[in-house]
Structure 1
Amino acid sequence: MKINTKKVLVTGADGFIGSHLTEELIRRGYDVKAFVYYNSFNSWGWLDNSPKEIMSHCEVFTGDIRDPHGVKAAMQGCDAVLHLAALIAIPYSYHSPDTYVDTNIKGTLNVLQAARELGIEKIVHTSTSEVYGTAKFVPITEEHPLQGQSPYSASKIGADQLAYSYYSSFNLPVSIIRPFNTYGPRQSARAVIPTIISQIAAGQTKIKLGSVHPTRDFNYVKDTVNGFISVLESNKSIGEVINIGSNYEISIGETARIIAELMDVELDIITDDTRLRPEKSEVERLWADNSKAKELLGWTPNYGGVTGFKKGLTETIEWFSLKDNLAQYKVGMYNL
């Protein structure tokens, strides 16, 4: 489904992945409308930092994904929607679960219903590897059971099922992309890799972390973006759930060790109890089976394996090490 001559709406375009995706779509010749969260500061999030030559080709719509009227207005005249807008911080979901239902479930409903009414040609809904919970088998295929181990993951399971129901019930052309742990420049310091890098870049050698034994499948943001575009452009993805992951498993502790090695520091990890998830809520193991993405889409990670992981970390470290970038983070406090 080559549609780069048509108009694409990206919800959550102001966020970490969304901003990278918006920029890459424009580079590839897509006509892009960026849906960003309205605020009184007139901030477009990370798009404020995007190159002017990129943003000159981007239409920006400010709104709230929870507002069905605004969502439908944003989708007018668009041929496809990449739906990334969501609340994603797991610790904050313990604090304010109601907002996750409104944003992640109701927001997704707003996109789906508007797409149905407007006859949108393709909807790519964003899932998360968190919906799998602690792995019951590895590598994790798309057939793995879903386990809501946090209010966040439960809300994403609900959103995923709602998206699939619109495909099944109304033949809406929906694809569900399920990225594993994406990392890279611009990521919030609530995530573990920016937490480690930003603390070291700020001159700290005693790093505060939560649990270090869980394993993750880290996917560099450029690979995740390529995954989104591959799903968008493929008719084979309609009605499918597709993992986007590196097929490489590593513990948080080992990740910290590699980052310290790349940044040439001796690291002392301190367990911060405020960063620990409730025991039954911790996802102990994530490891993606990405064979479906390879077979259906021809997508493969360019930053896979330990070599690719170190390459991605190096690029991330370089970005965070720039003074102006690091200054945008409150390194001395824990980000929910």
Structure 2
Amino acid sequence: MISKSKKILVTGADGFIGSNLTEELIHKGYDVKAFVYYNSFNSWGWLDSTPKDVKNELEIFAGDIRDPYGVKEAMKDCDTVLHLASLIAIPYSYHSPETYVDTNIKGTLNILQAAKELGVSKIVHTSTSEVYGTAQYVPIDEKHSLQGQSPYSASKIGADQMALSFYRSFDTPVSIIRPFNTYGPRQSARAVIPTIITQLASGNNTIKLGSIHPTRDFNYVQDTVNGFIAAMSNDKSIGEVINIGSNFEISIGETAKLIAEVMGVNLEIETDDVRLRPGKSEVERLWANNQKAKQLIDWEPAYGDKKGFKKGLKETVDWFTDKRNLSHYKADVYNI
């Protein structure tokens, strides 16, 4: 069990999942240092939008996960690291693969090496369901083969294996959680659910999408956040890879229809060729087996099955359709 008197470093705290996780840790009374990406605007990403009571409890470290010296400096007084910082957009990885290697693999190495040298008590490393590629069988458990169907997924496979190598070589206390498709407030419009919502919320009943036949296992962000905290809090997770998914499968097309139903609008879908992945790169099917998470760290989704998914979509739609939030998005521009 992680003591609340010990400091937790959250890398990628300025992002979608990271900011939600950071807020939840603060609400639970943990001492949190938020590692945000350094920029000249002094922006803390989504943490700029967090309530004042959360900001007042936060320590901010602005740096770059690719810089080993800055990473080690950030980790010096931390007992636990929740490592979320990474590049995640699949289309962007097609034309800029080197930066994915630098950020996702070398960035993870920087965390691991500093943890080894500093004697950090626990690292929770973030994987992704994309490492499985198209399902060879369903539901997908942690023994499923890995397949890099994009430079992004290949870089995450490399990062995962680097983390496991430090556990096996040096007994570095690493846990790996593998979230399936997380969605919810603050998600980038490069992801399909915000893409659908923002187009509809902007008054476009005919929306542009890529392939709509692939299936996904969507996981509401609060469930993903709880998965991180459960893995952090339970030493049974050390040396393990653990799926965090809803165990509910639905196609992109059916998801779009469900969102339109939640929003009370009519929907037509237009295929936009620029949004299509190369044929052999498209992950056709994802569906999580989450039994290991239930058994090992006592985690299960609060938003599982179709009813839970619809509830999560309602909360997501409510956030995105607030004009203050919608103003952050460019619904008429394809966001890779």
TM range (shorter): over 0.9
In structure 2, the residue corresponding to 1:62 is in which secondary structure? strand
Q: Residue 44 of structure 1 aligns with which residue? A: 44
Q: Which residue of 2 aligns with 1:91?
A: 91
Task: Please give the alpha-carbon distance, in whole angstroms, between the structure 2 residues aligned to 1:104 and 1:297.
Answer: 26
Paired position in structure 1 for 2:72: 72
SS in 2 for 1:243: strand
| Distance in 1 between residues matched to 2:95 and 2:319, nearest whole Å | 31
Aligned length: 336
- In the other structure, the counterpart of 2:109 is 109
Separation in 2 of the partners of 1:270 and 1:187?
22
Unaligned stretches of 5+ residues in structure 2: none
* 2:16 counterpart of 1:16: yes
The aligned residue for residue 32 of structure 1 is 32
Distance across 1 between alignment mates of 2:143 and 2:88: 23
Q: Secondary structure at the residue paired with 2:310? A: helix
Give the Cα separation in 1 of the matches to 2:3 and 2:335: 38
How many Å separate the matches in 2 of 1:250 and 1:158? 28
What does residue 322 of structure 1 align with?
322
Percent of counterpart pairs with the same letter? 74
SS class of match (1:60): strand
**Paired residue type of 1:180:** F
Residues 47-67 of structure 1, C-alpha deviations (whole Å, 9 max, x = no match): 000001011000000000000
> Does the Cα contact within 8 Å between 1:132 and 1:144 map onto a contact in 2?
yes
CA deviation after TM superposition for structure 1 residue 95, in Å: 1.2
Q: Deviations over 1:160-213 (max 9, x none)?
A: 000000000000000000000000000000000000001111111010000000
Q: 4+ residue runs of structure 1 moved beyond 3 angstroms?
A: none
2:143 equivalent in structure 1:
143
Counterpart residue identity of residue 140, structure 2? I
TM-score (norm 2): 1.00
Q: How far 1:2 sits from its partner (Å)?
A: 3.2
State the alpha-carbon separation in 1 of the partners of residues 261 and 237 from structure 2.
Answer: 39
Cα deviations across residues 271-305 of structure 1 (Å, max 9, x unaligned)?
00000000000000000000000000110100000
Q: Secondary structure at the match of 2:138?
A: coil
Q: After superposition, what is the alpha-carbon deviation per residue over 1:101-155, rounded to whole angstroms, capped at 9, x for unaligned?
A: 0000000000000000000000000000000000000000000000000000000
Question: In 2, are the aligned partners of 1:5 and 1:29 still within 8 Å (CA)?
Answer: no
What SS does the aligned partner of 2:177 have? strand
Which residue in 1 is equivalent to 2:203? Answer: 203
> What corresponds to 2:293 in structure 1?
293
* 1:254 and 2:240 aligned: no
Which residue is equivalent to 2:272?
A: 272
Displacement of 1:3 after TM fit?
A: 2.2
- Whether the aligned pair in 2 keeps the contact of 1:206 and 1:269 (CA below 8 Å) is yes
Q: Which amino acid aligns with 2:310?
A: K
User: In the aligned structure 2, how far is the partner of 1:126 from the partner of 1:3?
Assistant: 21
Q: Secondary structure at the match of 1:140?
A: coil
Following the alignment from structure 2 to structure 1, what is the Cα–Cα distance between the partners of residues 32 and 155?
Answer: 28
Instruction: Measure the CA separation in 2 of the matches of 1:114 and 1:80.
Output: 12
- Residue type matched to 1:211 in 2? S
Alignment of 1:155-304 (within 5 A): 155-304=155-304
Q: For the residues of structure 2 that align with 1:118 and 1:104, how far apart are their CA atoms?
A: 21
Query: What do you get for the CA RMSD once the two structures are aligned?
Result: 0.4
Structure 1 residues 14-45: Cα deviation after superposition (integer angstroms, max 9, x where no partner): 00000000000010010000000001111000
